[in-house]
Chains A and B, each alone.
Chain A
Amino acid sequence: MMNKSEIKTQEKQAASLPAKQWLTLNINGTEKKLELAPWTSLLDALREYLGLTGTKKGCDHGQCGACTVLVNGKRINSCLTLAVMQENKEITTIEGLAQGNALHPMQTAFIEHDAFQCGYCTPGQICSAVGLVNEGKAHTDDDIRELMSGNICRCGAYPNILEAIKQAKGEMNNA
């Protein structure tokens, strides 16, 4: 049991709940000002506050990869970071990969190889695959499979995803 002063302290803390704060996120080359509570994940900020619903919420626990975005060119799970922690960084989502009407080579390759069925994991797969090529550590098919293991596809489109990544990897490296 709490005594009265403890309850008062708790009420006081509740009354002074950390307010939402203004922060600036650089998303797909554009600065966005947002008023967010500290506990808003980057994923929720993108989907619920910025209308960027291309990034998907799958497990919300970092296990499925559907929420993968690029931060300073590196792929991360946007569900496992707070929006407030990503100020002053360059965030790229699936919406930011195309140049105008020209799709990113990875997007084109996914279409050409039919690398999805339901498509829910696809934005995460594509952002993850772009990060994989940027990292430059995948040299064999097995390397690609291993380094894409953070992206689950429950339709089982893995063979076509692999082929798509191989095609785009060649194009991106020759670009």
Chain B
Amino acid sequence: MHSFSYSRAEEIASAVSKKAVGQQAAKFIAGGTNLLDLMKAKVELPQQLIDINPLPLKSIEATENGGLRLGALATNADTAYHEQVQQQYPLISQAILAGASAQLRNMATDGGNILQRTRCYYFYDTATPCNKREPGTGCSAINGFNRIHAILGTSEHCIATHPSDMAVALAALEATVNVTGTNGERSIPMLAFHRLPGSTPHLDNNLQPDEIITSLDLPPQGFAQHYTYLKIRDRESYAFALVSVAAALDMDGDTIREARLALGGVAHKPWRLPEAEAMLNGKTPTKENFGAVATAYLDGAQGYGDNTFKIELAKRAIVRALLQASSKK
């Protein structure tokens, strides 16, 4: 690894002001599982690491409105196995446990999970052009090996995907990201947190350089009766998603009151279309009804050769996930 300075932050205010001074040359480190890997690959070269592990952000606590607040520094493992998460938000638990390995989940934090960077081969390979790593150099994936790449919301500048499983479930449940910066606190809905690549693929999300994630809020409705996180990948465990589906249904007998559907592995952010979800309101859980939603979700999808199979795969995965969710007791 390259050389850098290291310091610990004991308070949120001092963490944020240190980061504001260091700007892009400074990085927060928490679990470190993605950042240190990227530093070894020379993709990230911070001059200053600010260790935020001393900050009091590890707790998981009920909120006044009946929801749950996940501290940004709660580990993925502690979150997935937390009793209330398992009971009220089993979709979150299932999504987290579908990702990474037991060792990584013991280290990785909830805030870091949604900030992890793409696993695009070219982003990692500093010998190749990549607009996300080095803006203006071009995208090697569009005409290269792109089996793992995006089919929705892409741009001519970038076809990378967001790799998180947890973020897909958070998007389906309409979680909120709470952040603190030098100008104070604000809350960002999950759907507005990550960005599409457009002409600025170097920006993964809308977090500002001086801001830190403090917690993730889950709303009261956890869809604990009818849910599925379906992850399709090249091997059965410890691999990133080719396509994943977070499906959640609120049902009254055989009638769907509300549906939530978010896709992973297909775009630069968790992919959700509330207007297509609404097609299921008042409907019964049939293959035909779910197929119509699947078609709507993949409307406008574009394959780049190696990844074109994902379009049909995603449609079938949506139908299967919704069928599983609707039959779950």
Question: Of the 9-residue stretches A26-34, A70-78, A94-102, A109-117, which lies at the interface with chain B?
Answer: A70-78
A150 within 8 A of B: yes
Whether the pair A60, B102 counts as a contact (CB closer than 8 A) is no
Chain B residue nearest in CB terms to A147:
B102
Q: How far is the CB of A75 from chain B (nearest CB, A)?
A: 5
Task: Write out the residue numbers on chain A whose beta carbons fall within 8 Å of the beta carbon of B6.
Answer: 18, 38, 82, 84
Contact size class for A? Answer: 20 to 34
Chain B residue nearest in CB terms to A40:
B1
Whether the pair B36, A17 counts as a contact (CB closer than 8 A) is no
Whether the pair B32, A81 counts as a contact (CB closer than 8 A) is yes
Say which residue of A76, A84, A146, A149 sits within 8 Å of B107 (CB atoms): A76
How many angstroms from the CA of A37 to the CA of B2 in the assembled complex?
Answer: 11
Question: Of the 9-residue stretches B47-55, B62-70, B152-160, B247-255, which lies at the interface with chain A?
Answer: B47-55
Whether the pair B4, A137 counts as a contact (CB closer than 8 A) is no
Contact size class for B? Answer: 20 to 34
Chain A residue nearest in CB terms to B237:
A149
Chain A window 64-89, contacts with chain B (Cβ cutoff 8 Å), 1 for yes, 0 for no:
01001000001111001110110000
Whether the pair A85, B53 counts as a contact (CB closer than 8 A) is yes
Count how many pairs of residues, one from A and one from B, have CB atoms less than 8 Å apart in the complex: 85
Given A18-B3, A38-B5, residue A85 in contact with residue B32 (CB < 8 A):
yes
Whether the pair B2, A39 counts as a contact (CB closer than 8 A) is yes
Residues from 123 to 164 in A contacting B, C-beta threshold 8 Å = 128, 131-132, 135, 137, 145-151
How many angstroms from the CA of A38 to the CA of B51 in the assembled complex?
Answer: 11
Whether the pair B4, A18 counts as a contact (CB closer than 8 A) is yes
Q: How far is the CB of B224 from chain A (nearest CB, A)?
A: 20
Chain B positions within 8 Å of A, measured between CB atoms, are: 1-6, 29, 32-33, 36-37, 39-40, 47, 49, 51, 53, 77, 81, 100-104, 106-107, 237-238
A-B contact pairs, 14 of them (CB 8 A): A38-B5, A74-B106, A75-B106, A80-B36, A81-B32, A81-B36, A82-B36, A84-B6, A85-B29, A85-B51, A148-B102, A149-B102, A149-B237, A150-B103
Question: Which 5 pairs across A and B sit closest by C-beta, in order of nearness?
Answer: A150-B101, A38-B6, A149-B237, A18-B5, A149-B238
